Structure 1
Amino acid sequence: MRKFVIVSIVFSMLLAMAMPVAAEEKTSDTSKTTLAKGANSAILLERDTGKLLFDKNAHEELPPASMTKIMTLLLIMEELEKGSLKLDETVRVSERAASMGGSQIFLEAGEEMTVNDLLKGIAIASGNDASVAMAERVAGSEEEFVSLMNKKVKELGLKHTKFQNTTGLPADDHYSTAYDMAMIAKELLKYESITNYTSVYEDYLRKGQENEFWLVNTNKLVRFYPGVDGLKTGFTNEAKYCLTATAEKNGMRVIAVVMGAETTKERNASVSGMLDYAFNRFQTNKLFEKGDVITTLRLTKAETKQNEVVTSESISTLHAKGESVDNISTEVKLKEDLKLPIKKGDHVGTLIVKDGEAILSESDLTVKENIEKASYYTLLKRSLQKLVKFD
C-alpha cells in the first residue's frame, strides 16, 4: 500500500508539471530558428525516408539517460520477431534485477512475470528492474546483453554511441547523440507493435492482486499531443531532461529527439514545436507497408522453389506540402550470394526509391517465411521430374 501511495503522489506531481503542454500543442507553424531553444541537442526526421528536417548539435556526445532503453527494447523486439521469445512466456526475476535503483516497477527476487508485462514495465514506466530482467532472459546476463547492444550500434553504422548498461543509469563512458538515438528509434519502429506499449498512458501490473502496481507513462505527450505514441523519456542530474518522441499524422511518422533540457516543460515544448513544424510543412506519399510482397526469389536448392520477398519496413517518399510526386520510381536489387538456410528477417536484397535519377532511399528486403535447404527426397523428386519431362 505504501508503494502505491508514493507512486500516486509522484504521478500527481508529474501531471501538474505536464499540464501546460496542452496549450503548447495548439501553436501554429514554428519558425526553424526557434525550434528546440530549450535543448542542448535536438533532431527531427521523417521515419520512413530518414530525411533530416531539423538538427541542433545532433552529433554531440551526451548521456542519454533512460533513452538507452530504446536499444533495450529494439533487441527484445528482434527476439520476438525471430520467435525465440514469446509474449506469454514467464521470466523469473533475479536478485540483481530486483535490486535496481531509479525508476522501477518494484519487482521482487524470485517473482515471475510475463514478457508482455515486463515490456509494459519498460516502455510505460521506464522500469530499470524490468530492463535487467529481460536482458538476463535474452542474453544470460546484463553484461552480455550490453555487448549485443554495442554490436547493434555497429551494425547500424552509428559512430557516437556506447552503452555500459541496459537502463541508462549513470555510468562512465556511456553516451549517445540525438542523431544516433533517432536512428535507433527508426530501427525500433520497424516493429510496429512497439507502439502498442509506448502509447499507453496508464495501465496496471498484477491487476487485482495485493501488490497491484499502477503504471503511468513517463512521456506525457502521449496524452497531450495528438498522434504521439512513443517512445522514451530520460532524466539524470547529468543528462537533464531528454526525450525521443514519435508521432504519426495523415500517414506520416516523424521522430523528434531532445537532449539536455533544463525542465520537463522545456523538453516537451521543444519536441512539440518540432512536431508542429514537421506536420505543418511536410507530407509523405506511402509506397509500401511493412510486409508487402515485392518480388519472388527462385532457389533451386531450397525446399520451396518460389519464395516471396517482402519489405522489412514501411516505405514512403517525403515532400513539401503541395509538391509534385510524379517522377517517383523503384528498383529491386537481390543479393547474388545467398546461402541456405535463410531466416525471416535476413537481408536478401534492397528496394531503391528514386526521384528521376536521384536516389531518395534504400530499404532492406527480406523473405516472408524461413527458407530451408531442400531435403534429399525433394532434390531426388525434382531430378526425376526433370527426367520425365525430358523424355
Structure 2
Amino acid sequence: MANDDQAQKPLLLLPAPKVAPTGIAGMVFLVLIFFASAGLTVAYLSNTSTSKAAQAAAVASAVVEDAFAGIKLEAQSAYVLDLTTDRVLYSKNEAAQLPLASLTKVPLALVIAEVIPPDTIITIAPHTPSDGGGVRLPAGLQFRAQDLIDFTLVASSNEGAEILAEAAASAMLQEYPGAAHAAPVLWRMNDWVKDLGLAHTYFLNTSGLDLSPTQAGAYGSAKDVARMFGYAASVSYATFGQTSRDTIKIRAITGESITARNTDEALPSIPGLILGKTGYTQLAGGNLAIVFEVGPAHPIAAVVLHSTRDGRFDDMKALITATISSIAGGGQ
C-alpha cells in the first residue's frame, strides 16, 4: 500500500508574477512622500508649540516689567526680593549705604533671642530713655524677655533696646568669649551681619538712634536689609510675630500692663505680613522694611530707605501692589 506522500497528486507550480521596475519606484516614492509629510507635520506642530511658549514667556516678562514700570518713590533707595526664587523684582540704588535708624532693632532682637530664652524675667532698672520720649517702661517692673522684644519692635522703643542689650550682656559674653566686653551685644550684631556676608551694613549702637547731627547709629544698604530681614524671618518667626499686629499689650509679672501701638501705618495694606519694622531719624529719613507673603510659602522682602516720614508708607504700598501684579502675571 502506498503511503500518503505517494498518493498525493503533483502540484501545479505557477510562475511568480512580475512587477515592473517602474511600479516599485512609484511605491517607494509614495512611501517617502508619506514619511516626509509626517515629518513636516511634527516639525510644524513642534515649532508652533515652541512659538506659543516663547510668546507666553515674552508676555509674562512684559507683565512683570510693566508692573514696576513708571513707579515713583520718594525713597532714595528701594529693593524687592522674592525670597523663594532669590529673584530681584525691583531695585533702586540698592547698594547705597544709608542710615538704618530703628531697622537696627531687628538684628538686635535676633541676637538677643540667641542667648536669652523667651521666658527669662528681666527687671526694668531706673534709667532715662535715650530718645527722651515714647511709652515708658516703669522701673522695678518685671517682664518676660519676649514681651520686651515685642514691645521694642512694635513701639520702636529705644528704651527697650537699651534694656535688652544690658540684660543680655552677661549671657552674650558667656556664649561669645571673644566679644567686646564693653558692648558684647553690639559686637555680636556686627559679627552676625559679617557672617551673613552683608558688606554694606554695620552698627554703632543697638537702637539705630543718631549719635550726632552728622553720625547715624547704623548704616546699611536696601539689598543688605532685604536679605537680613529675610533671614531673620526664616530662622526666628516667633521672635517677630507680633510685628504684624496693630496694637499689643504686655503684662508685668505683678499684673501691670503696658500697651504699644505699631509704628507701621501701612500695616492694613500689607497682606500676609511676617515681619515689619519702621525707622525714622533726622539723618535716616523714613525707612520701612517688611517680609510678607504673596501666596502660601511665598515670602517677599521689600525695603525703602531714606524716604520721608509719611512717604515711606506710600512707597511701600506702591511696591506691594506692583509685586502682587508681577507675581500674578507670571513673574515667579
TM-score normalised by length of structure 1: 0.59
SS for the counterpart of 1:282 is helix
Aligned ranges 1:105-124 → 2 under 5 Å: 105-124=135-154
* C-alpha separation in 2, matches of 1:184 and 1:268: 20
Which one-letter code corresponds to 2:220 in the other structure? Answer: S
Give the structure 1 partner of residue 73 of structure 2.
37
- Check whether the contact 1:243–1:259 (CA below 8 A) recurs between aligned residues: yes
Evaluate the alpha carbon distance shift between residue 38 and residue 118 of structure 1 in structure 2; reply closer, same or farther with a 3 A threshold: same
Q: Does 1:257 align with 2:303?
A: yes
* C-alpha separation in 1, matches of 2:107 and 2:253: 32
Give the structure 1 partner of residue 246 of structure 2.
201
Evaluate the alpha carbon distance shift between residue 94 and residue 72 of structure 1 in structure 2; reply closer, same or farther with a 3 A threshold: same
Higher helix share: 2
Q: Does 1:127 align with 2:157?
A: yes
* C-alpha separation in 2, matches of 1:142 and 1:108: 26
Residue 86 of structure 1: how far off its partner (Å):
2.1
Q: Does 1:70 align with 2:116?
A: no
* C-alpha separation in 1, matches of 2:82 and 2:327: 9
Which one-letter code corresponds to 2:107 in the other structure? Answer: M
Give the structure 1 partner of residue 222 of structure 2.
178
Higher strand share: 1
Which one-letter code corresponds to 1:147 in the other structure? Answer: W
Give the structure 1 partner of residue 48 of structure 2.
none
Residue 156 of structure 1: how far off its partner (Å):
0.8
SS for the counterpart of 2:98 is coil
Residue 164 of structure 1: how far off its partner (Å):
0.8
* C-alpha separation in 2, matches of 1:85 and 1:33: 46
The structure that has the greater radius of gyration is 2
* C-alpha separation in 1, matches of 2:308 and 2:102: 16
Which one-letter code corresponds to 2:158 in the other structure? Answer: N
* C-alpha separation in 1, matches of 2:239 and 2:318: 24
Evaluate the alpha carbon distance shift between residue 159 and residue 272 of structure 1 in structure 2; reply closer, same or farther with a 3 A threshold: same
Identity across aligned pairs (percent)? 27
Residue 104 of structure 1: how far off its partner (Å):
4.1
Q: Does 1:269 align with 2:322?
A: no
* C-alpha separation in 2, matches of 1:135 and 1:48: 33
Deviations 1:185-221 (A, max 9, x none): 0111112223421111112233798964221101122
The count of aligned residue pairs is 253
* C-alpha separation in 2, matches of 1:50 and 1:179: 12
- Check whether the contact 1:118–1:130 (CA below 8 A) recurs between aligned residues: yes
* C-alpha separation in 2, matches of 1:215 and 1:156: 31
Give the structure 2 partner of residue 87 of structure 1.
118
Residue 94 of structure 1: how far off its partner (Å):
3.3
Evaluate the alpha carbon distance shift between residue 91 and residue 54 of structure 1 in structure 2; reply closer, same or farther with a 3 A threshold: same
- Check whether the contact 2:142–2:254 (CA below 8 A) recurs between aligned residues: no
Residue 263 of structure 1: how far off its partner (Å):
3.6
Which one-letter code corresponds to 2:91 in the other structure? Answer: D
Aligned ranges 1:188-337 → 2 under 5 Å: 188-190=232-234, 191-206=236-251, 212-251=257-296, 252-264=298-310, 266-282=311-327, 321=330
Q: Name the Cα RMSD after superposition.
A: 2.7
SS for the counterpart of 1:34 is coil
Q: Does 1:144 align with 2:190?
A: no
- Check whether the contact 1:36–1:42 (CA below 8 A) recurs between aligned residues: no
The runs of 5 or more residues in structure 1 that have no matched partner are: 1-28, 284-319, 324-391
* C-alpha separation in 1, matches of 2:201 and 2:240: 24
Structure showing greater relative contact order (alpha-carbon pairs closer than 8 Å, 6 or more residues apart)? 2
Evaluate the alpha carbon distance shift between residue 246 and residue 236 of structure 1 in structure 2; reply closer, same or farther with a 3 A threshold: same
* C-alpha separation in 2, matches of 1:128 and 1:169: 7
Evaluate the alpha carbon distance shift between residue 274 and residue 231 of structure 1 in structure 2; reply closer, same or farther with a 3 A threshold: same
Q: Does 1:156 align with 2:196?
A: yes
Evaluate the alpha carbon distance shift between residue 156 and residue 102 of structure 1 in structure 2; reply closer, same or farther with a 3 A threshold: farther
SS for the counterpart of 2:99 is coil
- Check whether the contact 1:230–1:245 (CA below 8 A) recurs between aligned residues: yes
